[in-house]
Structure formats: C-alpha cells, structure tokens
C-alpha cells in the first residue's frame, strides 16, 4: 500500500495498472497533490489529487481540473505494480510487486 499523504515533495512513483502506466510526482503529501502523466488521455503532466491509498488490485483515481473547467476524474483499474523513487534519487523500492503469474503485458 502507498499512502500519498505520507510521502515527501518530489517523491516519484511509477505505477502500472492493467490498462496503462503512470508517472506520478508528489507536489504535497499533506494535500495529496501530485503531477501525473501517462494513460490514454494525459500525455502532458497534469496537476491532480489522489485521495485514496494505492493498493494491489485497487483502482487509482486522479481528480483534477482541466483548463479551468469542472473537476474531472480519471480512473484506472487494477493496480499491478508500483515503484517509489526518493525525492533525491538515492533510493527506490517496489512498494507493490507484480505477481509472478501475471502476464507482463498491460492493456
């Protein structure tokens, strides 16, 4: 499990779901603010919030405003794996590990 609110600014997460891969950088752990890119829609980095912990086989939900419009939600289902990288780049760890019997292909 990864609790966004407990991470430091600048920490990065490489998150793989059954649908896609996201790169996430923590802007503020306390407010669960992140900058993310990836998926089918977000090629460019976008500021958002992740309000629930990231857990194996769970969903990731990004809440954000796009160009000042109403709040939008991107949901990607079935978290397969996640690697957390320190803000200074000195360490990383597999916070959520892919099961050995899972196929290496996403989506």
Residue-wise pLDDT tens digits, 3-34: 999 999 999 999 999 999 999 999 999 999 99
What is the Cα–Cα distance from 38 to 106, expressed in whole angstroms?
Answer: 13
Please indicate, yes or no, if residue 105 is contained in any of the structural domains: no
pLDDT of residue 107: 47
Output the pTM of the full model.
Answer: 0.89
Please indicate, yes or no, if residue 107 is contained in any of the structural domains: no
Displacement of CA 101 from its chain's centroid (Å): 23
Please indicate, yes or no, if residue 88 is contained in any of the structural domains: yes
Full domain range(s) for residue 33: 4-96
pLDDT of residue 93: 96
Residue-wise pLDDT tens digits, 42-79: 778 999 999 899 999 999 999 987 777 778 888 999 99
Please indicate, yes or no, if residue 101 is contained in any of the structural domains: no
pLDDT of residue 100: 80
Please indicate, yes or no, if residue 64 is contained in any of the structural domains: yes
Could you give the strand order of the β-sheet that contains 60-65, starting from the edge strand earlier in sequence?
A: 71-76, 60-65, 42-49, 33-38, 21-28, 12-17, 79-85, 92-96
């Amino acid at each position: 499990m990864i609790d966004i609110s407990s991470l430091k600014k600048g920490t990065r997460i490489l998150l793989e779901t059954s649908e896609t891969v996201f790169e996430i950088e923590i802007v503020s752990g306390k407010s669960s603010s992140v900058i993310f890119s990836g998926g089918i829609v977000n090629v460019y980095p976008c500021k958002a919030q992740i309000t629930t912990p990231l857990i194996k086989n769970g969903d990731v939900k990004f809440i954000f405003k796009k160009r000042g419009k109403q709040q939008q939600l991107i949901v990607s289902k079935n978290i397969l794996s996640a690697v957390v990288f320190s803000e200074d780049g000195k360490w990383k760890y597999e916070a959520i590990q892919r099961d050995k019997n899972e196929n290496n292909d996403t989506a």
